[in-house]
Every structure is written in C-alpha cells, then in structure tokens.
Structure 1
Amino acid sequence: MFKPTSTTTGPGPALAALAGAQFTVMLATSIVNVALPQIRAGVGLTESGTTWVVNAYGLAFGALLLAGGRAADLLGRRRVLLAGLAVFGAASVAAGLAGSSDILIAARAVQGLGAAAVAPAALALVMDVFPPGPGRGKALGVWGAVSGAGGAAGVLLGGALTQAWGWPWIFYTVAIGAFLVLAAAAAFVPQAAGRETGSFALAGTAAVTLALTALVWGLTTARRSGWTDGSVLGSFALAAVLLAAFVLIERRHPDPLLPPRLFRAGRVTAGNVLMALLGSVWIALFFFLPLYQQQVLGHNPLVTGLGQLPLAAANVLGSTLAPRISRRIGATVTVVAALLTEAAGLLWLSQISAHGSYLASILGPSILIGLGLSIAFVQLTALSVEGVAKEDAGLAGGVVNTTRQVGGAVGLAVLATLAGSVTADAATHRPHLEALTAGYRTAFTISAAVLAVTALLAVLITRRGTAPAAHAPGTTAPLPSAVRTR
C-alpha cells in the first residue's frame, strides 16, 4: 500500500508531520486577525482592502479544496502534500515582503491555493497510515486538537509577533513552520499511491471551483456592501448557474469529480451537513471574540492572544478525550453532547457587557466552547470519511474541508451583517462601546441557537446511515466503536 521513504519509522513521526501541516494551515487562517490595523497602516490598505487580506486566503482555500482533494487521489497524496507546502511557504514569504496592498492580497490568495492542496492530502494520508481501529480514533483526536489549537494559536502568535517585531513576522513565522513541516513530511510520511487512473474531470472541476469562488466572494462582499448590492446578487446568481452546470457535467462524465458512491458510504452526507453548520459558528467565533477583547475591553494584541490560551488548552483536552468518550457512550450521543456544550458556552458568552472583564466574561465560556468544539470536530471528521473507498480518501478530505470552510464563510457573512445592523441601530441611542457589545452579543446568541439546532439535526440524521460491509472490495472497513453510533 505504501512506498516507503528512505528511513523506516513508525506511524508517530508521520502523524506529527501531518498534524503539523494541518496546524499550519489553520494557523494562517486566524493569525492575521489581531494584526489587521498594523497591516493596514504598513501597506496603505483601504477599508475594503483590509477585509480582503482575510478573504483572499479563505476564498482560494474554500474554492479549491475539491480540486486539491481529487489531485491528491490521482497524482499521489504525498506528492501533492509536499507541493502544496512548498507553494504555501513561498507565498507566506512573499506576503511578509509585500510592499503594496496588491502584492499582499495576491500572496494571501496563493497561500490559500497551497492550503487547498495540503489539507485534503494530509487528512487522506492520516487515513492511509492509520487503518480502521483504535489507532485511527487516536489519530483523529490529534487531528482535532491541532485544528482547533491552530485557530487559537493564530490569535496568540499574531498578537505577540506584531507587538514584538511587526506584522511581517506573522507571515515569516508561518513560512518557517511550513518549510519545517515540508522537511518532516518528506522524511517521515510514506507514499500512499494515488489512483493514478481516470481523468481529472476538468470541466466539472472548473465549474464547481468557479461556483464556490462566486459564492464565497458574494458572501464576503455582502458583509461590506449589503445583501441587496448588485454585485453580491450577481455573484450568487453566477454561483447558482455554475452549480447547475456542474450537476449536468457530473451526470454525463464517466469519472465524475464527486462520484455518487462517495455519499452512499457510511454517514458521509450527515457528517458534512453537520460540519458545515459547525464551521458557520467556528470561524465567526475567532472573528468576534478578539474584536470584543480589543475594541471593548481595550486589550492590546499580546493580551488578546494570551486570552486564547484557555480555549486552546480546552480544545487539546477535548480532542484527546473524544475517542474515549465516544467508545463509552456512542458517536451520536457524543456529537450531541459536544454541540450542546459549545452552545452553552456561546450562550454564556452572549452575556458580555461593555464594562466586563476577561475573568468574568470570557474565561469560563472559552473553556466550555473549546471542549465542545474539539469533541464535535473529531467526531464529525470521522463521520465524514467513514466507509469511503481508499481511492477516494483525498476527495473525501477535500469535501469535509470544503463544507467547513464554505459553512464558515456563510456563517461569518450572516453573523457579521446581523451584528453590524444591531450595532448601527443601538448606536442611535447608546454609547459606542455598548452598541458594539450589543452586536457581539447578537452574534454569540445566534451562534448558540445554530448549534442547538445542529444537535437536534445530529440526532435525526446520524442514525440513518449504514456503513459498508467489512469485506466490501475497494472500501475501508467500518470505523471502530470510537466513531460508531450506538
């Protein structure tokens, strides 16, 4: 199954390298958030340009994930992983050296392209290195820990590096991490042969990539221009037309990008639906919480970053415990309990005030949110790749990352618009800080409601799927009790 590297090692170093790849990708998603004011002043960004420092990465990442997953399956997962890390690292260096806004935004988009190759290839390689059994459950626990910790660490490192050495170092640090992971992956990750047969389905890949680009662009632009803006509505219409074209192309293609068998395996559909809803809250959390800390509580970037440590620690703990909890009470109960735990934390967070403090307003909710988020992520990732044929593992990784990323774009656009509307209305009769806080409270309250609905949906849909037979040719065996429903 594997083409060995020059040095034969156990699965531990391979997992460390693959987890490092996922951590680096997630780090780049959030590390710029705290440093945006300094970046804006450094390269002369406009208000809309500042937004695109974040959006360019997310747009390219979300739109190209399916293509990255299929490329990993066809061209070889290790090969695509290494190429993606090289592109990601080089683009990070370019972003740090950028002397103009156009170069910086372009570099962020290329970062997203590299990340779209890295994320699905790395997850597929984890599934290859760890066959079904307790080892895979533990590996996915590590995967969940670094995914959540990467988002929190991004806020921490972004604040510390910006305050100590300036904003370019947030990109140089990401580049150093990417090249270190590249070296580790080259040394320790075995080559899992891709399918290397069939066609790339170029027309379908182009249609869905452009459709996702139009959708994510419209959602991110709607935060600034409003939902009724002509360019926003036009982008949504274009996305709908391209998605319809994609469906027609897929039906006629002998080797489609999204083969129907992928969604008949295990509970892949259920896992992806729930992951999209979880993602809609996840990305918004790391957007609004640092803003509340800086704009309302008056924390500087370093203090804001340090405030994320309890959340990151809770995330690591939850990811470690997730397989054990699932073995005891079953996957469905674990997912529901995790989602409700995170919802409780967000509901608690919705009680923030303009005169609050970190200890009173943020610490307790952060711990609950970190625990719930990490456990839910581990279980939903497992459900999203359950029973998938080996030759489709990279594509399955691309799909689950796409649903999380696009779900995050939708959630952030909707929540930012609602929060902005509440703030604007409150500003007519309340002081500025109270108006801002009212908007953030709204975002956290709606996020809690979304997770409560997601928990109910999890009860309804995760029990309906059936895993493929253990000896079905060309498929992985059903997942162990760590990710099964009781």
Structure 2
Amino acid sequence: MAVSHAAVGSRSNRAVLLTVTCLGQFMVLLDNTIVGAALPDMQHRLNTQLTGLQWIVNAYVLLVAMLLLSGGIFADRFGRKRVYLIGVAVFTAASVLCSLAPTVGWLLAGRVLQGIGAAAMSPASLALLAASHPVPQERIKAIGLWAGFSGIGLAAGPVAGGVLTEAFGWPAIFLVNLPIGVVLLVAGLRSLEEARNPNSPAIDIPGTVLSVLGVGALTYGLIEGGARGWTSPVILGSFAAAVILLAAFAAVEARCSAPMLPLRLFRQRLFTVSNTAMIVVGFALMGSSFFFSQFFVYVQGSSILRAGLQTLPASFAMVIVSPYAGRLAARYGFRIVVTTGLALAGLGLLVLGMVHADTGYGNVWWRLGLVGIGFALTLSPLTGAAIQAVSPQEGGLASGISSTTRQIGAVLGVAVLGAVVRGRQSGGATFETGLNSAFLTAGIVTSAAAVFTGLWLARSRSADGSAAPQRSDGAQAVTTSDEASANSPNRSKITR
C-alpha cells in the first residue's frame, strides 16, 4: 500500500508540474500573437507611428531570440525551478508595467523585461518537464501536451487580443497575464522540485552580450532607417556597429571553450541549410503576420475584434497541420516536405499581396490558410533536419539553435517588411500599396528559399559524414525540438 500511495503521489505531483509548465508556455506563446490584434489601438492611443509598433513587437522577440540558449544554461547551473519561477515573476511584473505604460518608451521597457522573463521560462519549463518523466513514452506524451499548449496559445492570441482590446483597450492584453502569473508562482513554489545539471557548461557572457548588441544594432538600423533616412550618420553608424559587433561575436565564439553558438556545427551542410531556411520562416511568418490585423483594420475597415477573428485561418491551419509535419517528413523526407511547405507559404504570401480594400473575405481567408499550412509543414522538419545533422549528444543544442534562428528571422522580418511599407509610403504610395509590397517581398523570399532548400537538402550530410537519409520508416529520422530536448543532456537549452 505504501508503494501505491507513493505512486499516486508521484502521479499527482507530475500532474501539477505538467499543468504549471504547460500554462507558463501558454502564457509566453500567447504574448507572441495577442499583441498583433492590439497594434491598431496602440497606434491610436499612444500616438505612435509604424516604427513604434515595430519596436513594440521586436523589443520582446529580440530579447527572447538572443537569450534562449543562455536561459537554458542558467537553468542548468542555478536550478531549473529557481530560474523558471524567476522568469515567471519577471514576466508577470513586466506585463503589469506594460499595461500601465503611459508612453511607447515605457511600453518598450516592459516588453524588454517580458522578453527576459520568457527566455528564462521556456527552456526551464521544458527541462523540468523532461526531468520529471524519465520513462520515454511518458516523456513524449507530456512534451506533446506542452507543445499543444504552445499551439493553443498561438491560436488564441488573435481572438483574445481582439476581444480584450475591443472591450477594455490594449492594456488589457497584458493584464491577462497577471492572474496566470500569480497562479504559476503559488503552485510552482509549492509543487516544483529543484533540479540542476552540475556538469553544465560555463555561461558564455561575452557571446551573449555581443549577440544582443549586434543584432540590436542591426535591427535599429533597419527599423529607424525609413524614418531617419538610410544615409543618415546614425543609421550608417548602427549598421557599421552591427558588422563590428557580429564579427566580434563570431571571433569570440570560435575561440570560446564552451560557446553559446558552436560555429563548427555550421560546417555540416544539412545544419546550415536547415537553419538558413528557418531564418526565412521566421522572417516571412512573423514579418507578414505583423500586418494582418493592420490590413483588416486600416485597409478594409474592420473593427479590432473582427480583425482578430479574420486572422484566425493562418493560426488554425498551423495548429491543425503542425502535428503531422514530422510524420510526413519521416515518411517522405525533409527535402520534399520542407520544399512543399515553403512553396505553399510563398504562394500564399504572393496572392495575399494582391488583395485590396474591396476584396471580399471569402477571397482572403484561404490565402491566410495557405500561408499557415505552408509554414506548419516547415517548422518541425527543419528542426528535425538540424538535429539529424549533429551528434546525438548535441541534439538539444541543435534544437535550441534552430529556435533561436527562427526568432532572429522574426526580428528581421518585422524590421525589413516594415521598412518596405515605409519606403513605399515615403514615395507617395498608399498604406494598402505598401502592405501589398511587403507581402509580395515576403512571398518572393520564401519562394526563393523553397528553391534553395530543394536543391541543397538533397545531398546534405549528417554529423558522422554519411549521407543524411531523405526517407525513413521510423520516427527517428525526424525528431522534433521537444523530443530532442527530452533525450539530450543539453535539453534545458531548448524552447519552441
């Protein structure tokens, strides 16, 4: 009977842990998409322009992108429970700060803190979850639920953002995190058990600082260039600083004994190609979705709530198709599935660039759905390809790098496509014409990536030098980022 009670207690504790970690990831992913629906209201109430909206999105995404890998190492060294709960506390407090922000500047400060909190929460939550389920079958099921909550958070964002903004104004989209954060802190303090990896590598502080500053300088130049002028000293200086900082980052990583980004991994063609394609996915997906609600509100005259609902086909398509992407890649190979996905997404963006103010929604929703289906087919297989390119011991690190490259692409997408819109407007074009140009640009880049991956994934090679198989009858050929994290000693370095 004692064993039975212990087993029941263990199952109960794991159920609470599963709830806490999944709810935390839901909150992080919800904040990725809930902001998009509120951008028109933010622009009106905060009296900001497109540049300000770009920073509101990128301040969060940039910090998450640059701190993901370091967040996992912090969790290993200082305790996964401690880092997770600190991340929750920072994220929750930052959400309150965002909701109270009287100006764009205060809001950006809150978004930066949110990004720091999210970068701590995601890898720590996945590490806690994987460590508490030592049996592989149970671990895979638990991580599947964790990933499912991620998808729900992404899909719920546009609707929740539209409803809350329409009823209470944009501050409500951040206040919704307050009760969730309080519940997570109370439940986490009472139920989570501390775990750490005593053999974790040293924290690469120089690499982390240089990466944040380098990508930040590049982002600043891309976002502000349209407003200040591309030849202004400030913009040229920011681009020059970006080049110097990123070159210094590469030099530091090449000589560091425990780099956050081991450059040797990029000697594998499969790893390089998959991460290059992942940058394009982040670029086109986040860059285009930044304008979805703005198109419906400013071009077609929809309410904020209706605009949030109108963007759902893309989110729902991703939630529905994503679980099958890895299976399709295992059956037909990375190259076929990724190339097909990029081609579909590119086609969807190209035809989305042809919609106008008088285009009926019946002729718009399927274009959004095509974009969602296409990108859903690429995310898991591209991560699987990156993992297959390295040794099994580095699968978790490879997955974390894949997530980071996607986030970097997202930062660049919002910055570059925003610059396209501003450039067209400065030339006398309407906002509608600028949006069309942005969607067409994203579609061209994505279509080019489809050709690139179709040609280069065909003869990619794995970490041991053997040809990377393009077909497999087993699930081992395609390992999702979550599965890799569960089986890798570096698992706390991963997030989705």
Change (3 A) 1:436 1:204: closer
Offset of residue 299 of structure 1: 0.4
SS, match of residue 35 in structure 2: coil
State how far apart, in whole Å, the 2-side matches of 1:479 and 1:280 are. Answer: 28
Offset of residue 118 of structure 1: 2.5
Change (3 A) 1:152 1:92: same
Equivalent in 406, 410, 435 of residue 408 of structure 2: 406
Unaligned runs of 5+ in 1: 428-434, 471-477
**1:387-409 CA distances to partner (integer Å, 9 max, x unpaired)?**
76787666545422321122122
Maintained 8 Å contact 1:385/1:396 = yes
| Correspondence 1:450 to 2:458 | no
Offset of residue 455 of structure 1: 1.7
State how far apart, in whole Å, the 1-side matches of 2:134 and 2:342 are. Answer: 27
Structure 2 counterpart of 1:337, which letter? T
State how far apart, in whole Å, the 2-side matches of 1:238 and 1:51 are. Answer: 21
**Residue in 1 that maps onto 2:176:** 173
State how far apart, in whole Å, the 2-side matches of 1:252 and 1:230 are. Answer: 33
State how far apart, in whole Å, the 1-side matches of 2:233 and 2:336 are. Answer: 44
**Residue in 2 that maps onto 1:378:** 380
SS, match of residue 224 in structure 2: helix
Maintained 8 Å contact 2:51/2:223 = no
Counterparts of 1:58-207 in structure 2, within 5 Å, are 58-122=61-125, 147=150, 150-180=153-183, 193-207=196-210
Change (3 A) 1:141 1:87: same
State how far apart, in whole Å, the 2-side matches of 1:81 and 1:466 are. Answer: 34
Maintained 8 Å contact 2:50/2:418 = no
**Residue in 2 that maps onto 1:475:** none
| Correspondence 1:440 to 2:435 | yes
Change (3 A) 1:208 1:403: same
**Residue in 2 that maps onto 1:431:** none
Change (3 A) 1:102 1:184: same
Unaligned runs of 5+ in 2: 1-6, 467-473, 481-496
Offset of residue 442 of structure 1: 1.8
Counterparts of 1:187-336 in structure 2, within 5 Å, are 193-260=196-263, 262-263=265-266, 267-336=270-339
Maintained 8 Å contact 2:72/2:123 = yes
**1:324-366 CA distances to partner (integer Å, 9 max, x unpaired)?**
3223222321211222222222222222022112222x21112
**1:423-463 CA distances to partner (integer Å, 9 max, x unpaired)?**
44463xxxxxxx33222222222222222221222233434
**Residue in 1 that maps onto 2:368:** 366
State how far apart, in whole Å, the 2-side matches of 1:382 and 1:132 are. Answer: 22
Change (3 A) 1:288 1:375: same
Change (3 A) 1:62 1:257: closer
State how far apart, in whole Å, the 1-side matches of 2:33 and 2:407 are. Answer: 13
Offset of residue 76 of structure 1: 4.1
Offset of residue 466 of structure 1: 0.9
State how far apart, in whole Å, the 1-side matches of 2:215 and 2:166 are. Answer: 36
Maintained 8 Å contact 2:389/2:462 = no
Maintained 8 Å contact 2:325/2:381 = yes
C-alpha root-mean-square deviation of aligned residues, in Å?
A: 3.7
**Residue in 2 that maps onto 1:459:** 454
Offset of residue 259 of structure 1: 3.1
Maintained 8 Å contact 1:419/1:439 = yes
Change (3 A) 1:117 1:397: farther
**Residue in 2 that maps onto 1:480:** 476
SS, match of residue 34 in structure 1: helix
Offset of residue 231 of structure 1: 1.8
State how far apart, in whole Å, the 2-side matches of 1:368 and 1:310 are. Answer: 9
**Which of 279-288 and 224-233 deviates more?**
224-233
| Correspondence 1:345 to 2:352 | no
State how far apart, in whole Å, the 2-side matches of 1:339 and 1:131 are. Answer: 36
Change (3 A) 1:232 1:397: farther
Offset of residue 376 of structure 1: 1.1
State how far apart, in whole Å, the 2-side matches of 1:214 and 1:5 are. Answer: 53
**Which of 260-269 and 369-378 deviates more?**
260-269
Maintained 8 Å contact 1:263/1:269 = yes
Structure-1-length-normalised TM-score: 0.82
**Which of 337-346 and 286-295 deviates more?**
337-346
**Residue in 2 that maps onto 1:27:** 30
State how far apart, in whole Å, the 1-side matches of 2:361 and 2:397 are. Answer: 42
